[in-house]
Protein backbone atom coordinates (compact mmCIF):
# COMPACT_ATOMS: atom_id res chain seq x y z
CA UNK A 1 0.00 0.00 0.00
CA UNK A 2 1.35 3.42 -0.93
CA UNK A 3 0.30 6.37 1.23
CA UNK A 4 0.60 10.06 0.51
CA UNK A 5 -0.03 12.93 2.91
CA UNK A 6 0.63 16.63 3.29
CA UNK A 7 1.18 16.63 7.05
CA UNK A 8 2.12 14.06 9.66
CA UNK A 9 1.14 14.04 13.33
CA UNK A 10 2.57 12.00 16.21
CA UNK A 11 -0.95 10.79 17.13
CA UNK A 12 -4.67 11.46 16.71
CA UNK A 13 -5.99 13.95 19.29
CA UNK A 14 -9.09 13.10 21.34
CA UNK A 15 -12.32 15.15 21.18
CA UNK A 16 -11.37 17.29 24.18
CA UNK A 17 -7.92 17.94 22.73
CA UNK A 18 -6.40 16.78 26.01
CA UNK A 19 -4.51 13.73 24.80
CA UNK A 20 -4.42 10.78 22.46
CA UNK A 21 -7.50 9.28 20.81
CA UNK A 22 -8.86 6.52 23.09
CA UNK A 23 -9.04 4.00 20.25
CA UNK A 24 -5.46 4.75 19.27
CA UNK A 25 -4.48 4.30 22.92
CA UNK A 26 -6.20 0.89 22.94
CA UNK A 27 -4.35 -0.13 19.79
CA UNK A 28 -0.99 0.59 21.41
CA UNK A 29 -1.76 -1.78 24.30
CA UNK A 30 -2.10 -4.99 22.28
CA UNK A 31 -0.90 -6.86 19.22
CA UNK A 32 -3.90 -9.20 19.35
CA UNK A 33 -6.61 -8.19 16.85
CA UNK A 34 -9.41 -9.93 18.78
CA UNK A 35 -8.41 -8.15 21.98
CA UNK A 36 -8.33 -4.84 20.11
CA UNK A 37 -11.76 -5.42 18.54
CA UNK A 38 -13.18 -6.27 21.96
CA UNK A 39 -11.63 -3.15 23.50
CA UNK A 40 -13.02 -0.93 20.73
CA UNK A 41 -16.47 -2.50 21.15
CA UNK A 42 -16.36 -1.91 24.91
CA UNK A 43 -15.26 1.69 24.39
CA UNK A 44 -18.02 2.40 21.85
CA UNK A 45 -20.59 0.86 24.20
CA UNK A 46 -19.31 2.99 27.09
CA UNK A 47 -19.90 6.20 25.13
CA UNK A 48 -23.30 5.07 23.83
CA UNK A 49 -22.38 4.50 20.19
CA UNK A 50 -23.19 0.77 20.25
As averages over each run of 10 residues, the pLDDT of the chain (50 residues) reads 92 95 96 97 96
User: Where do the domains of the chain lie?
Assistant: 19-50
Neighbours of 26 (CB within 10 A): 18
Q: 40 and 23 in contact (C-beta within 8 Å)?
A: yes
What pLDDT is stored for residue 5 in this prediction? 92
Q: Is 41 helix (H, G, I), strand (E, B) or coil?
A: helix
What pLDDT is stored for residue 23 in this prediction? 95
From the DSSP assignment, how many helices (H) and strands (E) are in the chain? 2, 0
Amino acid sequence: MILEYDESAPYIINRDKTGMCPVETLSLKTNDIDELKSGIKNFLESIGLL
